């Protein structure tokens, strides 16, 4: 059955909104630094005056008196940080779990983040976003495969007990907390597949770690060639949308944020979600060349 004009119009609006979102002044194109803290050691950022201290799992910002005397302040939760200030831990709109308050230096947005290393230890970092970097990297569009109704596949979501586990990311020795919320069952090229469905964490378990969105993460024979090497995802608003699932639309497959910046660590593709053939639907690799380097040396 050919795609309807209504479908094409809706898909184009969705695609245009995605491009607009990626080009946000403080989106992932804007990230200019991601540095990891060592407990008990002061860290000086190359972007923000003052120093950061990790102590017993808590982060403190220490302003430089010479900078504050010149009127140079980090703004924490709307207030000038003139004295050593504790950075509360909580929900961060950009990075999931991290700094629970807004922080700015001039037009730079600053956030702290938490992840896990290969030893299962919580690690803490400081990430900086610069809207001028986002403007420099701005792009007009991401090329996609032609829309094709053959890649809208009958599918069924099967919920499971929500389980938290740490999965490796594209950043060496950095693990991402991921919530498995169920599986999507479908048949492609005559082969049955059970794709893991993950929930994006968002704050605390009480607030709902997966309240932002859920997604299925897959790789295929285009990965690392025509499409991003870390695989692609198809997003869902929430578990209610998944419960109503009847079709999985690969025309809406998009790249992870780590396709836009080396300062983002995205989870690796689940072993059972790797297709042994090309999925010629969805986004090509975004037109933002960057060298993937490991930011964590622990």
Q: Are residues 68 and 215 in the same domain?
A: no
3-state secondary structure of 148: coil
State the pLDDT at residue 179. Answer: 83
Taking the chain (298 residues) in runs of 10, the rounded mean pLDDT of each run is: 92 98 95 96 97 97 96 97 94 75 96 91 95 97 98 97 83 84 96 91 47 85 96 92 96 94 88 96 94 81
Neighbour order of strands in the sheet with 51-55: 42-43, 51-55, 58-62, 85-87
Q: Are residues 124 and 153 in the same domain?
A: no
Task: Give how many domains the chain has, as a whole number.
Answer: 2
State the pLDDT at residue 164. Answer: 79
Helix or strand (DSSP H, E) at 216: strand 214-218
State the pLDDT at residue 264. Answer: 85
State the pLDDT at residue 73. Answer: 97
Q: Does 285 fall in a domain? A: no
State the pLDDT at residue 218. Answer: 97
State the pLDDT at residue 298. Answer: 75
Please give the Cα distance from 286 to 47 (Å, whole number): 27
Q: Are residues 128 and 172 in the same domain?
A: no
Q: Does 293 fall in a domain? A: no
Q: Are residues 50 and 132 in the same domain?
A: yes
Out of 137, 168, 189, a domain closes at 137
Please give the Cα distance from 146 to 149 (Å, whole number): 10
Instruction: For 150-215, give the DSSP string.
Output: GGEEEEEEEEEEEEEEEEEBSSTTEEEEEEEEEEEEEEETTEEEEEEEEE---S-TTT-TTSS-EE
Q: Are residues 82 and 115 in the same domain?
A: yes
Domain that holds residue 35: 28-137
Out of 137, 159, 192, a domain closes at 137
Q: Are residues 14 and 45 in the same domain?
A: no
State the pLDDT at residue 112. Answer: 95
State the pLDDT at residue 207. Answer: 44
State the pLDDT at residue 200. Answer: 67
């Amino acid at each position: 059955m050919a795609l309807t004009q209504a479908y094409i119009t809706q898909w184009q609006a969705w695609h245009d909104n995605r491009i607009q979102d990626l080009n946000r002044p403080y989106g992932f194109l804007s990230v200019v630094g991601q540095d990891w803290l060592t407990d008990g050691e002061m860290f000086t950022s190359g972007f923000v005056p003052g120093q950061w201290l990790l102590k017993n799992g808590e982060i403190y910002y220490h302003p430089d008196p010479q900078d504050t005397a010149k009127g140079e302040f980090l703004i924490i939760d709307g207030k000038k940080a003139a004295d050593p200030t504790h950075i509360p831990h909580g929900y961060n709109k950009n990075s999931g779990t991290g700094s629970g308050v807004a922080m700015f230096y001039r037009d730079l947005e600053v956030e702290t983040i938490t992840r896990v290393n290969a030893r299962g230890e919580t690690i803490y970092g400081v990430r900086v976003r610069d809207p001028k970097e986002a403007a420099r990297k701005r792009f007009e569009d991401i090329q996609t495969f032609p829309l094709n109704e053959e890649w809208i596949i009958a599918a069924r979501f099967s919920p499971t007990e929500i389980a938290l586990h740490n999965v490796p990311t594209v950043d060496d020795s950095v693990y991402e907390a991921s919530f498995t919320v169920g599986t999507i069952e479908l048949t492609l090229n005559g082969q049955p597949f059970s794709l893991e469905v993950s929930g994006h964490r968002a704050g605390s378990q009480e607030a709902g770690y997966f309240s932002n969105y859920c997604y299925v993460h897959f790789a295929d024979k285009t990965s690392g060639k025509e499409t991003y090497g870390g695989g692609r995802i198809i997003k869902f608003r929430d578990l209610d949308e998944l419960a109503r699932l009847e079709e999985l639309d690969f025309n809406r497959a998009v790249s992870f944020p780590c396709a836009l910046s080396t300062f983002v660590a995205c989870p690796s593709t689940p072993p059972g979600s790797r297709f042994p053939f090309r999925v010629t639907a969805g986004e090509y690799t975004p037109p933002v060349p960057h060298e993937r380097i490991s930011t964590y040396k622990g």
